């Protein structure tokens, strides 16, 4: 087959994946993500089956018969525990905004940066060979398919594959920054790939069994007749230790490998999906393994001796002249490899950027917007991982089988299991214990598994393996402390598990956690995975908003905060965010920065609060609820249970409603106090000058004129204020009808420009219809325009107004080329009687923008401010279109 044709097919396939991803993101944006489907979730878990499964299992089976199986038995066993282990992980990670094993380690052990970085390093070191394996598999099979035998061709092919995959991954996953948000497109593409690779493998297997042989019986008969293939059919008599070790290892890997953690824990849209995975995922594994042994036997029987067993799946149809099937197999293998590379590099990139690079970024001066730099960092991390993998593929992996490379990775991530899983069930586990365990285990791993591959590659003296480094026999990598004659993998696992668990437990017990760390730990060990932040921190909401803006960008920061405050209006009192909101902000930041850095940046603005009476109350409530629950369980009738639940739900609602009322009452008091203050100012001037004029009938005429001028001006100001306060209190008073915003815009622009000064350019080409009160909407636009005109140069300033319909919303933007609004002020300016603290102070009632916001919200929309293309501020008024106009 010509390389051109194969590349064309591969590119077409990648195009299909993009299309799927795009469609999935559209469905998610409409609020009905495909990825919420339990079947899609189970299929995405099958990213576990990589090129190793697709090509390597057959290679392994052709060497050692059933020995390929434990790697799939482990996950099958793990699937039984999915509802317990993964559910706990999902809840903990969602609650704390964690997106990787490194996040989890850092968060569980007191926001330890060291531990997060360590886990990230171990993961990178462990997974790079695994990614290398995928590159090599795609490159090798490409060369087999196109028949190119040139020496060095595989390296060049691998380089192209690496570049393609890196680009592909970046396009797929780093468009959005917040890793805590799910990548619906990626998951949908991975699920599709799982279907494709399974179908391709089943097709190849069916062809081999029924096309090349007369069914399974004939194949087995022929294999049994030859001693070498007959041996593969025999069940292994010994080696139970190796089987057990491998089964356990893969059970851990299917949860803790970065890509598995990503799809199984981070990307879950709905917890209920976990239940279906319990049977669907093992079923998938069964199907994809069905033809492994038959294909291995067929390869041995039909292909010339010395053929690479890792490419049997591809070589068998190719040799039989079935080019189309061979191409399908190649696409299946490509699916298996790309799925792994995309998810694994995405997961690694997030770990690298949050745990290894972000701490450096945090030294940047305060106030700088770092969201762009964070995105760049993610992309760079992806490039680095793929480049490392390519380097590994071209220098080391030449002679190593696919399976043995993969197992090195499994063994690496297994070193994280005691700290991560132990930490979720054992509150006594400490940071020092976790660090010691992971360091010790990883050291043993590095010594016993990757190091020998360096010897194989000729980088180290072969005597290291036989006599030990510097003649120290007890340090021989495959016979540590004299434990000789074991399978290298099992040998490594035995020692690393012993060292890892031993250190983890003994150090944790020897140096118990401080009370504060223990309180943190309980958050993770608690069954629900969620709990009240024991730190009870509060922070000025503006400082919190500024921090969010700095790392998430202004749009997302403002939207997240606004959404939270709508949900819990009582979260902010007197401009101070309560503990729950601070914790929520930290979780949001953890998605972008990792938990340790998120804690650091939040600590910069937060202060510890004493136990508030309401918190004491809610702790009492919690105790009461727990007792009620226990009683309910003890009680017989289900009816009783339901009634109690309904009562408690009603009580909770009532309490919430009360809290909201109190909050509203307080807001109203504040507002009345502020309004009366604002009214007193012009009133004072009016009274003073009336009295002066009254007491001084013989004032000079020009003095008299000056004073009466003030009287008139201040009276006008008083009426304006009263007018504004009325509008503010009843933002959409008056009849509602269909209103064309385009015509409102041109009216408002004319009114605003009537007094001379900077003109307003209007861009409203088509009618945009909303449902609402025309006068109120015109007032909103007028306020925005007059605000913009105050900000720009009176002679040369520019103000432009645009009206558009966009994705079911009516969007009005008002841009100016004034000084803009500082990010810290972007919420403040919409509050009553507040102006920006930075930038020019201008005359006004201090209510204009507050009125715009009230009107916008009364119409089911909102108004926000950002940087304008003109250089100044852009105010965006966003309203729902009239229902049938969308």
Q: How far is the CB of 686 from another protein (least distance, A)?
A: 8
- What does each C-alpha distance from 291 to 288, 307, 311, 322, 555 come to in angstroms? 7, 19, 14, 18, 52
Nearer to another protein, 706 or 738 (CB): 706
Residue 599 CA: distances (Å) to CA of 102, 819, 860: 15, 33, 35
**Distance between CA 71 and CA 309 in Å, rounded?**
18
- Taking the least distance from each CB to another protein, the nearer of 580 and 692 is 692
Buried b or exposed e, range 313-325, using 16+ CB within 10 angstroms? bbbbbbeeebeeb
CB of 706 vs another protein, minimal distance in Å = 8
- What is the 3-class SS of 105-146, one letter each residue? HHHHCCCCHHHHHHHHHHHHHHHHHHHHHHHHHHHHHHHHHH
For another protein, which stretch binds (CB under 8 A), given 189-197, 236-244, 367-375, 681-689? 681-689
Residue 522 as a binder of another protein (CB under 8 A): the answer is no
Tell me how far, at minimum, the Cβ of 699 lies from another protein, in Å: 9
Among 567, 636, 638, 841, which residue interacts with another protein (rule: CB under 8 A)? 841
If the CB atoms of residues 580 and 710 are measured against another protein, the closer one turns out to be 710
Q: What is the DSSP code (8-state) at residue 883?
A: G
Element (H, E) at 487: none
The encoded tokens of residue 735 equal 């009849």
Nearest distance in Å: CB 873, another protein: 21
x/- mask, another protein, residues 475-504, rule CB under 8 A, reads ------------------------------
Residue 685 interacting with another protein (CB under 8 A): yes
Kindly tell me which residue out of 65, 441, 452, 682 binds another protein, with binding defined by CB under 8 A.
Answer: 682
Told to check if 689 binds another protein by CB under 8 A, we report yes
Q: How many CB atoms lie within 10 A of CB 693?
A: 15
Could you tell me which of 161, 222, 208, 159 has the C-alpha nearest to residue 314?
208
Within 647-676, the residues that bind another protein by CB under 8 A are 673, 676
**What Cα–Cα distance (Å) separates residue 318 from each residue in 12, 146, 242, 302, 308?**
21, 10, 35, 12, 14
Residue 681 in the binding site for another protein (CB under 8 A): yes
To the nearest whole angstrom, how small is the minimum distance from the Cβ of residue 545 to another protein?
Answer: 23
Shorter beta-carbon distance to another protein: residue 326 or 791? 791
**Does residue number 692 form part of the binding site for another protein (CB under 8 A)?**
yes
Beta-carbon count within 10 A of 106 CB: 31
59 binds another protein (CB under 8 A): no
In terms of CB distance, is 18 or 707 closer to another protein?
Answer: 707
Does 702 bind another protein (CB under 8 A)? Our answer is: no
Q: How many residues bind another protein (CB under 8 A)?
A: 22
| Residue placing its CB nearer to another protein in the complex, 357 or 686 | 686
Separation between Cα atoms, residue 380 and residue 348, nearest integer Å? 11
To the nearest whole angstrom, how small is the minimum distance from the Cβ of residue 713 to another protein? 7
Q: Please report the sign of the dihedral spanned by the C-alpha atoms of residue 682, residue 687, residue 690, residue 692.
A: negative
Task: Please identify which residue in 175, 511, 624, 680 interacts with another protein, judged by CB under 8 A.
Answer: 680
Could you identify the residue written with the tokens 């140096």? 511
Helix, strand, coil percentages for the chain (3-state, nearest 5): 70, 5, 25
User: Nearer Cβ to another protein, position 175 or 668?
Assistant: 668
State which residue, 608 or 680, has the beta carbon closest to another protein.
Answer: 680
Contact yes or no for 164/425 (Cβ under 8 A):
no
Q: How far is the CB of 718 from another protein (least distance, A)?
A: 11
Closest to another protein by CB, 2 vs 696, is: 696
Q: What is the 3-state secondary structure (H, E, C) of 777-826?
A: HHHHHHHHHHHHHHHCCCCCCCEEEEEEEECCEEEEEEEECCCCCCHHHC
> Is 817 a residue that touches another protein (CB under 8 A)?
no
655 vs 822 by CB, closer to another protein: 822
Q: Which two tokens stand for residue 236?
A: 């292994």
Q: How many CB atoms lie within 10 A of CB 515?
A: 9
* Beta carbon of residue 662, minimum distance to another protein (angstroms, whole number): 21
Q: Which of 684, 729, 737, 761 binds another protein (CB under 8 A)?
A: 684
CB atoms within 10 A of CB 734: 11
Q: How far is CA 470 from the centre of its chain?
A: 47
Q: Among residues 580, 683, 751, 885, which is the contact residue for another protein, using CB under 8 A?
A: 683
Instruction: Please provide residue 761's backbone torsions phi and psi, each rounded to the nearest 5 degrees.
Output: -85, 130
Spatial CB neighbours of 603, under 8 Å, sequence gap ≥ 6: 537
User: Which residues inside 704-723 make contact with another protein, applying CB under 8 A?
Assistant: 707, 710, 713-714
List 269, 436, 546, 686, residue binding another protein (CB under 8 A)? 686
700 lies in the binding site for another protein (CB under 8 A): no
Contact range with another protein by CB under 8 A, out of 120-128, 468-476, 684-692, 765-773 = 684-692
Nearer to another protein, 696 or 737 (CB): 696
Instruction: Tell me if 761 contacts another protein by CB under 8 A.
Output: no
Q: Is 695 in the site for another protein (CB under 8 A)?
A: yes
Which is closer to another protein, CB of 563 or CB of 672? 672
Phi, psi of 608 (to 5 degrees): -70, 135
In this chain, which of 687, 730, 750, 838 binds another protein, going by CB under 8 A? 687
- Cite the DSSP H helix spans in 321-370: 323-351, 358-361
852/873 Cα distance (integer angstroms): 16
Task: Report the interface residues with another protein, using CB under 8 A.
Answer: 673, 676-677, 680-689, 691-692, 695-696, 707, 710, 713-714, 841
């Amino acid at each position: 087959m010509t390389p051109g044709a194969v590349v064309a097919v591969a590119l077409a396939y990648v195009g299909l994946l993009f299309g799927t991803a795009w469609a999935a993101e559209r469905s998610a944006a409409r609020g009905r993500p495909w990825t919420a489907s339990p079947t899609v979730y189970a299929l995405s878990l099958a990213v576990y089956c990589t090129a190793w499964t697709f090509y390597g299992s057959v290679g392994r089976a052709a060497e050692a018969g059933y020995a390929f199986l434990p790697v799939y038995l482990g996950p099958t066993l793990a699937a039984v525990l999915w509802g317990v282990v993964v559910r706990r992980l999902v809840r903990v990670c969602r609650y704390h905004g964690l997106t990787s094993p490194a996040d989890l380690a850092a968060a569980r052990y007191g926001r330890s940066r060291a531990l997060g970085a360590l886990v990230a390093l171990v993961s990178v070191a462990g997974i790079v060979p695994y990614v290398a394996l995928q590159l090599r598999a795609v490159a090798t099979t490409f060369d087999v398919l196109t028949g190119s035998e040139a020496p060095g061709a595989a390296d060049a092919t691998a380089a192209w594959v690496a570049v393609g995959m890196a680009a592909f991954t970046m396009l797929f996953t780093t468009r959005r920054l917040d890793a805590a948000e799910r990548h619906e497109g990626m998951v949908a593409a991975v699920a599709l790939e799982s279907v494709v690779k399974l179908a391709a493998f089943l097709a190849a297997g069916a062809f081999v069994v029924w096309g090349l042989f007369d069914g399974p019986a004939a194949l087995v008969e022929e294999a049994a007749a030859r001693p070498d293939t007959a041996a593969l059919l025999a069940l292994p008599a010994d080696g139970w230790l190796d089987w057990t070790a491998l089964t356990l290892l893969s059970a851990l890997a299917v949860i803790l490998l970065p890509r598995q953690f990503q799809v199984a824990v981070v990307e879950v849209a709905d917890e209920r999906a976990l239940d279906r995975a319990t049977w669907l995922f093992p079923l998938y594994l069964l199907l994809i393994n069905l033809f492994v042994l038959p294909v291995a036997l067929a390869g041995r029987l039909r292909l010339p001796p010395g053929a690479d067993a890792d490419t049997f799946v591809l070589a068998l149809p190719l040799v039989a002249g079935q080019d189309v099937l061979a191409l399908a197999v190649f696409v299946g293998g490509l699916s298996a490899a790309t799925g792994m590379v995309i998810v694994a590099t995405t997961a690694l990139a997030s770990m690298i950027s949050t745990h290894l690079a972000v701490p450096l970024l945090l030294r940047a001066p305060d106030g700088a917007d770092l969201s762009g730099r964070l995105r760049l960092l993610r992309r760079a991390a992806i490039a680095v991982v793929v480049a490392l993998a390519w380097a590994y593929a071209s220098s080391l992996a030449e002679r190593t089988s696919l399976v043995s490379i993969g197992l090195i990775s499994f063994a690496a991530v297994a070193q994280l299991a005691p700290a991560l899983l132990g930490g979720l069930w054992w509150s006594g586990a400490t940071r020092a214990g976790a660090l010691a365990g992971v360091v010790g285990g990883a050291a043993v791993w590095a010594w016993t598994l990757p190091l020998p591959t360096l010897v194989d590659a000729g980088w180290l003296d072969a005597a290291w393996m036989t006599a030990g480094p510097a003649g120290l026999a007890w340090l021989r990598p495959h016979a540590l402390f004299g434990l000789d004659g074991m399978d290298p993998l099992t040998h490594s696992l035995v020692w690393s598990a012993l060292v890892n668990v031993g250190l983890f437990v003994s150090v944790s017990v020897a140096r118990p956690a401080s009370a504060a760390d223990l309180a943190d730990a309980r958050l993770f060990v608690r069954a629900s995975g969620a709990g009240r932040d024991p730190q009870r921190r509060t922070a000025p909401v503006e400082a919190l908003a500024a921090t969010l803006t700095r790392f998430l960008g202004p749009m997302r920061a403002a939207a997240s905060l606004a959404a939270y405050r709508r949900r819990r209006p009582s979260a902010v009192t007197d401009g101070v965010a309560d503990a729950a909101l601070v914790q929520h902000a930290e979780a949001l930041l953890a998605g972008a920065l990792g938990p340790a850095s998120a804690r650091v940046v939040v600590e910069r603005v937060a202060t510890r609060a004493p136990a508030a009476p309401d918190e004491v109350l809610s702790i009492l409530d919690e105790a009461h609820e727990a007792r009620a629950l226990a009683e309910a369980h003890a009680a017989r009738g289900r009816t009783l249970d339901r009634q109690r639940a309904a009562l408690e739900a009603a009580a909770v609602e009532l309490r919430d409603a009360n809290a909201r009322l109190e909050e509203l009452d307080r807001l109203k008091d504040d507002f009345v106090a502020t309004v009366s203050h604002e009214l007193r100012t012009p009133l004072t001037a009016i009274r003073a000058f009336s009295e002066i004029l009254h007491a001084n009938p013989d004032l000079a005429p020009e003095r008299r004129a000056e004073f009466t001028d003030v009287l008139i001006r201040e009276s006008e100001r008083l009426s304006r204020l009263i007018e504004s306060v009325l509008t503010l209190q009843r933002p959409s008073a008056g009849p509602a009808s269909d209103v064309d915003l385009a015509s409102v815009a041109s009216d408002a622009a004319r009114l605003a420009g009537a007094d001379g000064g900077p003109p307003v350019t209007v861009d409203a080409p088509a009618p945009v219809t909303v449902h609402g009160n025309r006068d109120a909407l015109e007032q909103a636009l007028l306020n925005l325009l007059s605000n913009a005109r105050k900000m720009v140069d009176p002679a040369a300033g520019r103000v432009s107004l645009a009206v558009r319909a966009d994705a079911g919303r009516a969007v009005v933007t008002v841009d100016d080329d004034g000084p803009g609004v500082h990010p810290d002020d972007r919420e403040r300016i919409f509050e009553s009687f507040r102006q920006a603290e930075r930038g020019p102070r201008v005359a006004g009632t201090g209510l204009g923008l507050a009125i715009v916001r009230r009107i916008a919200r009364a119409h089911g929309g909102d108004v926000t401010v950002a940087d304008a293309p003109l250089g100044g501020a852009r105010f965006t008024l966003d309203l729902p279109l009239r229902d049938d106009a969308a």
